[in-house]
Amino acid sequence: MNLNQKSLLAKASVFTLIGLATTSNLFAAADTAGGDLKSDDFVGVTFWIISMALVAATAFFFLETQRVTAKWKTSLTVSGLVTLVAATHYFYMRDVWVATGASPTVFRYIDWMITVPLLMVEFFLILSAITKVPAGVFWRLMIGTLVMLLGGYLGEAGYMNVMVAFIIGMLGWAYIIYEIFLGEAGKINAASAPPSVQKAFSLMRWIVVVGWAIYPVGYALGYLTGANPADSSDMLNITYNLADVVNKIAFGVIIWTAAVSESDKAAAKA
């Protein structure tokens, strides 16, 4: 990349940040509910903290694309898109929560419908950077994602028995885990990836198993314990919010770590 392109990218990043800052201000101004955050509304506080952490993470991932080699730039951009989309939804979700005390289920699932496929794209990109990956891998991961989220939504929105919906969602998730450990995606990684990529890939796999496990735990705490509705709703939202920190911000940081270490190695060789 030449100097001109670099300064263009820097400008684009700055404009993105200004855009983000303005839109978040607009949301806050348009909806006075946000100003009604009560000092004892701890779930509401987590909505606010995470909104801002997601904004900061977005700025960080976009700006750091300038520091890494070409093949890692796309991965970092996708990480930034995940946190950008999530930050925007969090502005709306926290307003719903603060104004009504209800779970912002619709915004939550719209967010997941966009960000979970983007996270799947990351797997694909990491593998594609080093070898040719059949498109079938990508589509199978997408199908698993759709089943998982559709099941969850039907249960949470009241279209289906919460337990049956939970089981459908779990089956979708199990299929994703099967694909990345024992299916084609896992085999490609084992056969052709260099050690640093294998490390990143295996870390990402653990994110999908351990990090993503926080979501069904949240669902169970929200709908399957028989606790009173107010407590259940607190537990559900606090657990989902925590899960998003792990799976959107920490996940991006893992990719950033691999990207920086690979790029530095490439620079040392040159």
Contacting residues toward ligand RET, per CB under 6 A = 112, 115-116, 119, 148-149, 151-152, 166, 169-170, 173, 212, 215-216, 219, 244, 247-248
* Cα separation values, 54 from 35, 174, 186, 246, Å: 20, 28, 30, 11
CA angle at residue 56 from 50 to 60, to 5 degrees? 140
Asked if 206 and 181 count as a contact pair (C-beta separation under 8 A), the reply is no
Q: Which residues contact 173 (CB under 8 A, 6 or more apart)?
A: 144, 148, 212, 216
Q: Given the complex with ligand RET, which of 68 and 85 has the nearer CB atom? A: 85
Q: Given the complex with ligand RET, which of 66 and 178 has the nearer CB atom? A: 178
Closest contact distance (angstroms) between CB of 119 and ligand RET is 6
Q: How far apart are the first and last CA of the chain?
A: 15
Q: Given the complex with ligand RET, which of 14 and 102 has the nearer CB atom? A: 102
Asked if 246 and 213 count as a contact pair (C-beta separation under 8 A), the reply is no
Closest contact distance (angstroms) between CB of 232 and ligand RET is 14
Closest contact distance (angstroms) between CB of 53 and ligand RET is 13
Closest contact distance (angstroms) between CB of 243 and ligand RET is 7
Closest contact distance (angstroms) between CB of 127 and ligand RET is 19
Q: Given the complex with ligand RET, which of 93 and 262 has the nearer CB atom? A: 93
Q: Given the complex with ligand RET, which of 125 and 170 has the nearer CB atom? A: 170
d(CA 195, CA 184): 18
